[in-house]
């Protein structure tokens, strides 16, 4: 079946001397992998290696056999031209971290237009942000809605957050967090992307909140492991 669809690049893996396998989330067909022959040696071909950087948003045409095999990409062009997502040191480090999380957790074999639109808009918001330091935290939290493990904030006035149950409670029973990090989690949940830059956080706040989110994801998101890129991120930003 021939498809023409927006697609988000999740990962690119070299295959042999010059071929690559590109894993993408497509709006029309969910998660797909494509073999691209000769990409590493291509100078005049239809595809360029820069088009397949993680989190690049493309408009593609492809042939899908729908048999769980590698699909064939026939055309591709950049659909969203980022300003500096791949060149700004802060944003590119976030992009590396987010791409690893998406690769681990997104398993949509069926189309999910709402998920695709969320990721597209969130990455554009990150790219255009003047103060992006909280954006990776917000994207990880909101992604949990699509993974079926979003915390229940109904009783967020209670002091303890239970990581096993994803609820707020009055006691420390179970695996819980309390104090400032729980308050920050509530602020993160209610702050829209447009207002994230106004929320002034410290490096330590973001570190502790990210640890909470990673611990929570390990308990609830299928296939999730603590990203290797998180250590690179911390070496750069503390």
For the chain, what are the domain ranges?
A: 2-78, 89-237
Q: Taking a C-beta distance cutoff of 8 angstroms, is the pair 29, 112 a contact?
A: no
Mean pLDDT of the chain: 92
* pLDDT confidence band for 66 (50 / 70 / 90): confident
Residue 137 has pLDDT above 70, yes or no: yes
Is the pLDDT assigned to residue 167 strictly greater than 80?
yes
With a cut of 60, say whether residue 80 has pLDDT above it: yes
Confidence of residue 172 (pLDDT cuts 50, 70, 90): very high
The CATH class, in words, for 89-237 is mainly alpha
Q: What is the pLDDT of residue 229?
A: 80
The maximal CA–CA distance of the chain, rounded, in angstroms, is 64
Q: Sign of the CA dihedral 207, 213, 216, 217?
A: negative
Q: Tell me, what's the pLDDT at 125?
A: 97
Phi-psi domain of 166 (left: phi exceeds 0; alpha: psi -120 through 50; beta: other)? left
Read off the pLDDT band of 44 (50, 70, 90): low
- pLDDT score recorded for residue 227: 87
Say if residue 77's pLDDT is above 90: yes
If pLDDT is split at 50, 70 and 90, which confidence band does 38 have?
confident
For 2-78, CATH number?
A: 2.40.50.140
Residue with tokens 């239809």: 46
Average pLDDT score over residue span 87-115 = 91
Residue 33 has pLDDT above 90, yes or no: yes
Give the per-residue pLDDT at 16: 82
């Amino acid at each position: 079946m021939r498809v023409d669809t927006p697609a988000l690049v999740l990962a690119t893996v070299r295959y042999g001397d010059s071929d690559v396998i590109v894993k993408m989330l497509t709006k029309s067909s969910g998660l797909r992998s494509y073999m691209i022959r000769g990409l590493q040696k291509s100078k005049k071909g239809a595809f360029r290696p820069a088009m397949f950087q993680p989190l690049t948003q493309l408009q593609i045409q492809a042939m899908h056999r729908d048999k769980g095999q590698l699909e064939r990409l026939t055309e591709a062009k950049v659909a969203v031209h980022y300003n500096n997502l791949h060149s700004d040191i802060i944003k590119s480090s976030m992009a590396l971290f987010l791409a690893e999380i998406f690769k681990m957790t997104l398993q949509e074999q069926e189309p999910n237009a709402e998920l695709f639109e969320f990721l597209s808009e969130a990455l554009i918001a990150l790219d255009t942000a003047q103060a992006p330091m909280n954006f990776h935290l917000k994207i990880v939290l909101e992604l949990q809605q699509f993974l079926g493990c979003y915390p229940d904030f109904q009783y967020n006035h209670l002091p303890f957050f239970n990581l096993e149950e994803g609820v707020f409670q009055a006691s420390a029973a179970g695996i819980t967090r309390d104090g400032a990090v729980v308050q920050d989690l509530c602020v993160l949940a209610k702050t829209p992307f447009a207002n994230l830059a106004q929320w002034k956080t410290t490096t330590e706040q973001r570190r502790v909140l990210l640890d909470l989110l990673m611990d929570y994801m390990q308990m609830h998101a299928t296939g999730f492991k603590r990203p290797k890129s998180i250590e690179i991120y911390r070496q750069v930003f503390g």
